[in-house]
Amino acid sequence: MIDMDLEMQQWVMSHLKDNVAKLLFKYHNQPWAEQAITQIECRQKAASKIKNLLSNEAFMFPHRLSAEQCTAQIVADFHSDLATFADTVLDMTAGLGVDALTQARHRKVTAIDINHNAAHSLIHNAAILGLNDSIDVLCCNSVEWIRNNSHREFDLVFIDPARRDSSGGRLKALKDCEPDVTDILPDMLRIGRKIFIKASPMLDVDQTIRDINTATKPFGSVNQIYSVGTSTECKEILAVVDRDMHAKPQITAVTLFNDRRLTYTAEDTTSPSLASTINEDMWLYEPYPAAMKIANTLSFGPTLSRLDKDTHLYISENYEDGYPCKAMKILRVLPFNDKNTKAMGREFPIANVAARNFTLSAPELSKRLKVKDGGTVKIFGVKALGRNMLIAAQEMQK
């Protein structure tokens, strides 16, 4: 990797909206072209994730994968705000460094990455952002480093292990990630008062808690679990581990918006009642993805009623605020059969389709309905009141 000089930066910015494949074909004989075009490709992929960082034209990516795997800024801000207790942070898997750079705005960070290009880029990016006095970047194996520096003490140790295997498949257990967090947690707790483990949203929360507690006993345990996402996607499971023994961790769903955060904690809830009736003009609530991930833990009572025992959709007579859900006004409720499926499709020819605890998958139901995907109406195939039903609902502007 070579550093981008001013001329290359200007070339990258002037071709930012160009087709990458065409640029590679046109400039394939130029020695500087591959790196410059890689920067363009990465900026295009990461444009919505780290918009503020990319406003600096000198910001540099170490490789293509860094744009795909980097933490979104909205998520890094959440991590940083959770770390108000910390003055010193060790980031064991810095990567592109979005988390490390965000933490460095508020506290002293030691950031480690085994990849030379990643470490080099992070040093460069810290300098152009005016953060080089707040962040110390090391290029080494972080597992070996913490074992060789057990005398060091950090308020927070942060780790975001690789979640894919050598063939690109998603891993579903902490022990399968790189590094194996369950193997090194005792070493991490020796140098860190608290540990943040940024884990895959594919992980089973209960199993993750058991795996971490087995690995840390008797040195510590899971204190908190955050299911973190946006209104459309669950981004991660964040486990907070410390040196105390906790009987039961607090579990919280966090939905991140550009201008606010919606948090909902399991301990704040009571068991929901089951719906006894579903009528048009009632309100339907679909949990955001982060809440849906831990839906068996969260229960939205007593003002909301669940459609069925294993159907994580809820209703109320009047609009209820403060729940981690998308609220929609019910437009039509029909028992599921061929006649009603055709009628629903005719009434709402453009609609989004979902299936919840239903006899058909969403694509199968969409095919039966013969609707075009889109619009503001959503048709749910659900099990409700003990039987299969169709519910059409529309998100309302509040």
Token pair 């089973």 is found at 204
Q: Tell whether the model's pLDDT for residue 103 goes beyond 90.
A: yes
The pLDDT, as a whole number, for residue 267 is 62
Token pair 């152009």 is found at 128
**Which residues, in sequence order, are CB contacts of 29 under 8 Å at separation 6+?**
none
Using alpha carbons, select from 12, 37, 35, 14 the residue that is nearest to residue 24: 37
**Domains defined for the chain, CATH in brackets:** 6-65 (no CATH), 69-263 (3.40.50.150), 273-395 (3.30.2130)
Token pair 């955001």 is found at 288
pLDDT tens-digit readout, 12-36: 999 999 999 999 999 989 989 999 9
How confident is residue 395, by pLDDT bands cut at 50, 70 and 90?
confident
Contact 277, 353 (CB under 8 A): no
In eight-state DSSP terms, residue 337 is S
Mean pLDDT of the chain: 92
The pLDDT, as a whole number, for residue 269 is 52
| Run of H or E residues at 384 | strand 377-384
Characterize the bridge pairing of strands 221-229 and 234-242: antiparallel
DSSP bridge pairs for 315 = 284, 305
Classify residue 156 by burial, with Cβ atoms within 10 Å: 0-12, 13-18, 19+. buried
**DSSP reduced 3-state for 306:** strand
Token pair 């909205």 is found at 74
Buried (b) or exposed (e) across 5-41, using 16+ Cβ within 10 A?
Answer: eeebbebbeebeeeeeeebeeebeeeeebebbbbbbb
Q: Tell whether the model's pLDDT for residue 63 goes beyond 80.
A: yes
**Which residues, in sequence order, are CB contacts of 45 under 8 Å at separation 6+?**
67, 68
Q: Which residue has the higher pLDDT, 266 or 182?
A: 182
Q: Summarize the confidence of residues 102-118 as an average pLDDT.
A: 97
**Which residues, in sequence order, are CB contacts of 256 under 8 Å at separation 6+?**
74, 75, 78, 228, 229, 230, 235
Using alpha carbons, select from 257, 203, 195, 194 the residue that is nearest to residue 227: 203
Q: Summarize the confidence of residues 306-321 as an average pLDDT.
A: 92
Question: What distances in angstroms separate CA 363 from CA 98, 146, 286, 368, one per listed residue?
Answer: 37, 49, 19, 9
Give the C-alpha separation, 47 to 54, whole Å.
7
| Run of H or E residues at 333 | strand 325-335
The pLDDT, as a whole number, for residue 176 is 84
Q: How many CA atoms lie within 13 A of 305 on its CB side?
A: 17
pTM of the full structure:
0.91
Question: Residue 327 corresponds to which tokens in the numbers above?
Answer: 């609220």
Q: Tell whether the model's pLDDT for residue 131 goes beyond 70.
A: yes
Q: Which residue has the higher pLDDT, 42 or 5?
A: 42
Contact 329, 393 (CB under 8 A): yes
Contact 9, 30 (CB under 8 A): no
pLDDT tens-digit readout, 360-381: 999 999 999 999 999 999 999 9
Token pair 């299969």 is found at 388
Return the axis-axis angle of helices 362-369 and 338-347, rounded to nearest 10°: 80
